[in-house]
Structure 1
Amino acid sequence: MNIGFIGLGNVGGKLAGSLVRNGLAPVVFDLDAGLIARQVAKGARAGEGPAQMMRDCDTVISCLPSPEACAAVVTQMLPEVGPGKIWIEMSTTDAAEIKRLGAQVIAAGGQAVDCPVSGGCHRADTGNISIYAGCTRETFETVLPVLTHMGRRILHVGDLGVASTLKVMTNYLATANLLTLCEALTVMKAQGMDMGVTYDAIAMSSGTSFVHETESQLILSGSRDVNFTMDLIQKDIGLFQKLADDAGVPLEISPLMIEMMTDGQRRYGTRAQSDRMIERLEEATGLSVLADGFPQELVDDEPEERGYEVVARRG
């Protein structure tokens, strides 16, 4: 399968890198020529743009920062879509928009998959990230061999749009966990607790989580650089709030989270790292929530292995 990859940012560049590392030599494109050159130096091939890539490739993967960027790319690709062509969208985006764009691809004779990832940039970098896939079963079986070179656990979740809906939900939960961890760590610091001991106490308790075991380390080290920015957080939790609004679900925590993140952006910048939310509490208390012995960046030390399908329970 001849593969194209559009969007070589924080996540996309790492996913494309996994394809390169595993010998698939994708054709790559980004508006930043430097990002293209970086992948070409590793063994990728430079693409000219979405239309050329859909014309010359069997499958084109996109990983883009917004629904608007996604729509722009699909619009350029559509004239080249036909039988045997597949579009895979791997960013976290609006489910309704992915269904609208996917329907256009399918109407042109192609196949479409919404395929967001979860697990952090450090796992995207090693091919150990998790991947959701929303599409027909036939399409899923066609693209699964490609997906297993980018992720460890691959879950076919149902029809087009289902994966994006689930991914927005998981990012909402991760953000809520980050904000509660900021509060928990600050209160423990105010109570005079050793912050290294506090980290370990959480990690071995019912209060632990993936977010704690990753982002809390970066908070305590002072790095505060999880490679995920506040504007992306706002996009994702905003999409989750939209799902709730559309379904008439009266949420209470979600609007507060949006308000808190808006304040964080106002203080530190629209594209500030999301971990810097701890600094709102540091400023309010005069405390420094730091500890020795924690890393400046996250590294996935799990050996890379070929991915596999996770069979979901259906209820």
Structure 2
Amino acid sequence: MGGGMALNLAKSVSPVYVFDPISEAMKPLLDAGAIAGDSAADIAKKCDLIFMCLPFAPEVRAVMFGPDGIHNARRNELTIVDTTTLDRTDAIAICKEAAEVGITYWDCPISGMPFRAYDGTLTMMFGGSAEGFAFAKPYLDHMGEHIIHAGPVGCGQAMKALNNIVYDINIAAISEVIPLALAVGLDADLVAELMTTGSSKSFASEYFVPRMMDRAFHTDFAMEDAYKDIINVQRMRDETGASIPVVDAMVKSYQSAMDAGFGREPKSAMIKVYEEKLGVKFTRPDAKD
């Protein structure tokens, strides 16, 4: 995701400095005119605005506060826009820690598949001040089509998590219902057509139903890595006392799939749990699991 966003910036803004510990990841960006930095600290010495896209909070903290981290540049008026998906409480804590060393930090997680990162059509949810949003938005416009100012820092992460939970509920429902349809004798191809054209049609069904039929369970983000969205929403539930029984039911399906050994597979692997229970398989004749 970060590669696609950086590529769009490199094609539209100059100069753009980039750093990745995996040098091969920078090659397409350098070919597009970006300039390679030697470290995160080196990037911070040359830039007033830095976008980050990292796996988890420990990596964010390492890039910002580690031995070769951004804070070592000792720059004044340095702004970080972090597109990493984090727990909302982590984003708020990192913002406070950054302020202590003179760095402005805003969260801005993204929604959309990698192709949307390369197309520049992502949905981006900015958490920060109105002034921070105004400063960042001209650059965000090169990376996304739908740029939302979600509210203060942390609100971007809250919005991203809630969006993903609705998506997860959709996938869980598809995973439960399709094996039931097969068990009562419905044709797999016709069920797939229904799920992608009828009132149950959604982005989740359009994207995952064909992959389920092709038994393509190794091409998308792993369930274990995406579990942070569930934790984020559960913490919001606990903070507010909200009742979320549908979410709770989805989490049981999600957890069952991980307990069954599918944690490194995408969310669509939830269907395997219900296929096994009913002795059916949603597939094409030539598909390989």
**TM-score, structure 2 normalization:** 0.86
Matches of 2:92 and 2:176, distance apart in 1: 38
1:178 aligns with 2:167: no
> For residue 217 of structure 2, what is the aligned residue in structure 1?
224
Aligned residues between the structures: 285
State how 1:85-164 maps to structure 2 within 5 Å: 85-164=78-157
> For residue 53 of structure 1, what is the aligned residue in structure 2?
43
Change (3 A) 1:145 1:177: same
CA positional deviation for 1:24: 4.7
CA positional deviation for 1:140: 0.9
CA positional deviation for 1:180: 0.7
State how 1:1-315 maps to structure 2 within 5 Å: 11-22=1-12, 24=14, 26-75=16-65, 76-80=69-73, 82-291=75-284
Please, which runs of 5 or more residues in structure 1 have no aligned partner?
1-10, 295-315
> For residue 3 of structure 1, what is the aligned residue in structure 2?
none
Listed one character per residue, the Cα deviations across residues 140-166 of structure 1 (whole Å, up to 9, x for unaligned) are 111111111111111111111111111
Q: Give % identity.
A: 24
C-alpha contact (below 8 Å) 1:230/1:265 kept by paired residues: yes
C-alpha contact (below 8 Å) 2:87/2:228 kept by paired residues: no
> Where in structure 1 do 4 or more consecutive aligned residues deviate above 4 Å?
291-294
SS at match of 2:185: coil
From the two aligned structures, give the one with the greater helix fraction: 2
The Cα RMSD (Å) is 2.7
Change (3 A) 1:68 1:207: same
More moved, 197-206 vs 120-129: 197-206
Change (3 A) 1:268 1:23: farther
**TM-score, structure 1 normalization:** 0.80
State the AA in 2 paired with 1:40: L
CA positional deviation for 1:31: 3.3
Change (3 A) 1:89 1:123: same
Change (3 A) 1:24 1:260: farther
SS at match of 2:119: coil
SS at match of 1:125: helix
State the AA in 2 paired with 1:115: C
SS at match of 1:60: strand
CA positional deviation for 1:167: 0.7
C-alpha contact (below 8 Å) 1:118/1:167 kept by paired residues: yes
Matches of 2:160 and 2:74, distance apart in 1: 27
State the AA in 1 paired with 2:152: D
SS at match of 1:206: coil
SS at match of 2:283: coil
SS at match of 2:147: strand
More moved, 124-133 vs 37-46: 37-46
C-alpha contact (below 8 Å) 2:17/2:34 kept by paired residues: yes
